[in-house]
Amino acid sequence: MGCCDTDHDHDHDNDDEDDLLECAKVGQKIRHFTLEAYDPTEGGFGEVDSEKILKKKKWLILVFYPADFTFVCPTELAELASQHEKLKKLGAEVVSVSTDTKFAHLAWQTTERMLKGVKFLMAADPAGHVSRYFDVWDAESGLDLRGTFIINPEGVLVGSEVNFYNVGRNAEELVRKMEANVYLAKHPAEACPAHWNPGDKTLTPSEALVGKVYEALNPE
């Protein structure tokens, strides 16, 4: 698929190229990366620097999508824009990424009416280096699959979701996952059950909880 492919012609003595074969993995720290970007808020070009974002103790959410000027993609980015303020309040920097150039991002965001509310950075990865690293790059099409990645302020990848081209994502679920991750960062001994929302009961794993999850979540 992407960076995890082993069929590459490269010098195995070159550490930098060998690193490209290592995909980001949940539970591990990500490598530093930079990407050019279009900034709809400023109406100009800028840069996404993962290290600078994390140094600000922010969460980083990367939302990969196939291409500008397509069909499901504007609905996803509009959906993401509708939840952007909530994600920002949770301490997250939201960045969309595709293999289009920053110039294509500018043209698309300013002409597609569905993207009027988009205020997050739109990063450009035309060479596919970062897309390969997160293993969403499709070598056959040269496009990205629909991948969403949540990285905590320590640089650890804590959330990963990848969909095929024809299935759009739910930004409200992304907010829910971020709320759970932010809560657990403050309460590391706990765990959030399925469909957890702020204020719901959590679980505290222990020998006493084995076989007693129902009782823990449904006290008499």
Helix (H) or strand (E) holding 72: helix 72-82
End-to-end Cα separation, the chain, in angstroms: 50
Residue type, 63: V
Q: Which of 144, 164, 124 is nearest to 38 (CA)?
A: 124
Candidates 3, 4, 23, 73; catalytic one:
73
Tell me if residue 3 is catalytic.
no
Give the H or E element holding residue 16.
helix 15-19
The number of beta carbons lying within 10 Å of the beta carbon of residue 144 is: 27
5: three-class secondary structure by DSSP: coil
**Active site residue ranges:** 73
